[in-house]
Amino acid sequence: MRKIVAVMLALVLCLGVMPAMAEQHEEVTLTFGSIWSSESEATRAPFLKTLEEFAEAYPWIHVEVDWNEANAWKDKGDTLASQSAMPDVFYWNAGGILKALVDQDQIMPLNDYLDDETLSRLIDGALANMTFDGKIYGLPYTNACSVLYCNKALFEANNVKIPETWDELKEAVEAFKAAGVTPMTTGGGDRWPTNMLGDILLLRFAGDEVFRKAVFKEEGGTFMDEGLIAGANAFAELVEMGAFPDDVAALTRDESEVPWHEGKIAMYVMGQWEGGNLAGKEDFIAVAFPAVPGVDSANAFMGGPAEEFAVAAYTEHPEEAYLLCQFCAEHLSKNGYISGAGLPCWKADFSEYEDQIASITRQIVALTNEATSFLLWGNTALEGEDSELLMDQTLLLLSGEITGEQFCENMEAIFE
């Protein structure tokens, strides 16, 4: 009897000790610099879900999220970087914008933490815009691209054909103008949405190779190219035709999107994340931006893995910060795709979620399956003052203050 009691007591002791053994990790709190502060952001819900999954998987790592609006975060992040005060893990753009932070020694290379198995789960070329000198400075959570969203209901109601070519786009603009419907919109005041529209026009008219050389300042790159001038002139022509709301140059992205979501605007060029806002709204469809006959660029896309999570170079908990960064990148890639906010850049089996994926997301996937190339947006590919110049010049085009030729002439300054 005594033996049985002794064994039982030993068992009780073991059971009591086991949870303590399981919680051998030290409690750690990490800060996370995030965008998607607005409830209307399509990526907010999948990001929150990702954070919940992380809390479940790593209960000893606590995450304090600093929520910001996208444009405000760019300002705030730049300011924090100047003081070496970036959060442990944070959202950032790839390309030239990332390079500026890398040059300031703000970002921790992840090579020591990434194993081959983890890397193999990424799609091909996913790290191209976040790798410098062989060092990986972030992990992407989405495969981005910009497409032309159309309000199908407005097209049908006004008997207008969804444009497939540049001429059809102009016809559609004319038809909507005549019907009293605002044909297109963009957030001029925030500059980057306008840049997104300008980029796709330059890409369509000049082709991937020419535009790539220009925005990556490669040898032989120039903006004084016939195709690029034609693309900039096409933008000016849209402005001249009155394709946009009268005060478009002053509107923020949020302000410009209000009438679009209310169904008062026919077309909108925006990133794949807009699909999340339009999920379940059958009036909206996503199509490739109209092609330019004679130019082999119909299936070229602006985008690629252009947004990422990075780890601050001076984080006090590099291992935990890497865990958070990698987990969020991979899980948000999946959750974002399921919710319609993005295209996956990490390989995953989505067969059980087929029913949940919105039709507009499927349309974007179908478009990108045909993609011949992805080119990083100009303002992301270019660094610092060059990026600023591109955004300023595109805004001047939108304001009707310069011509396409002047735009290209002024952009030549980046090569000096």
| Interface positions with other proteins (CB under 8 A) | 71, 75, 78-79, 82, 99-101, 103-104, 188-191, 245-250, 255, 259, 383-385, 387-389, 392, 395-396, 399-401, 410, 413, 416
Within 10 angstroms of residue 261's Cβ, the number of other Cβ atoms is 16
Report in angstroms how near the CB of residue 215 gets to other proteins at its nearest. 17
Q: Which structure tokens are listed for 45?
A: 């819900």
Name the residue nearer to other proteins (CB basis): 43 or 387: 387
Name the residue nearer to other proteins (CB basis): 97 or 230: 97
Look at residue 309 and give its three-state secondary structure.
strand
Name the residue nearer to other proteins (CB basis): 306 or 398: 398
Name the residue nearer to other proteins (CB basis): 249 or 300: 249
Report in angstroms how near the CB of residue 132 gets to other proteins at its nearest. 12
Report in angstroms how near the CB of residue 384 gets to other proteins at its nearest. 4
Q: How far apart are CA 357 and CA 339, in angstroms?
A: 6
Q: How far apart are CA 163 and CA 155, in angstroms?
A: 10
Report in angstroms how near the CB of residue 259 gets to other proteins at its nearest. 8
- Do 412 and 223 meet the contact criterion of CB atoms below 8 Å apart? yes
Name the residue nearer to other proteins (CB basis): 170 or 191: 191
Report in angstroms how near the CB of residue 82 gets to other proteins at its nearest. 7
Taking CA atoms, 98 is separated from 77, 87, 323, 375, in Å, by 11, 15, 20, 16
Name the residue nearer to other proteins (CB basis): 141 or 244: 244
Looking up tokens 């045909």, which residue turns up?
Answer: 370
Report in angstroms how near the CB of residue 188 gets to other proteins at its nearest. 7
Buried b (16+ CB within 10 A) or exposed e, 42-60: bbbbbbebbbebbeeebee
Name the residue nearer to other proteins (CB basis): 96 or 404: 96
Q: Provide the CB-side half-sphere exposure for 328 (13 A, CA).
A: 28
Q: Which structure tokens are listed for 409?
A: 């002439």
Q: Provide the CB-side half-sphere exposure for 352 (13 A, CA).
A: 4
Taking CA atoms, 142 is separated from 51, 182, 217, 313, in Å, by 16, 31, 25, 23
Report in angstroms how near the CB of residue 250 gets to other proteins at its nearest. 4
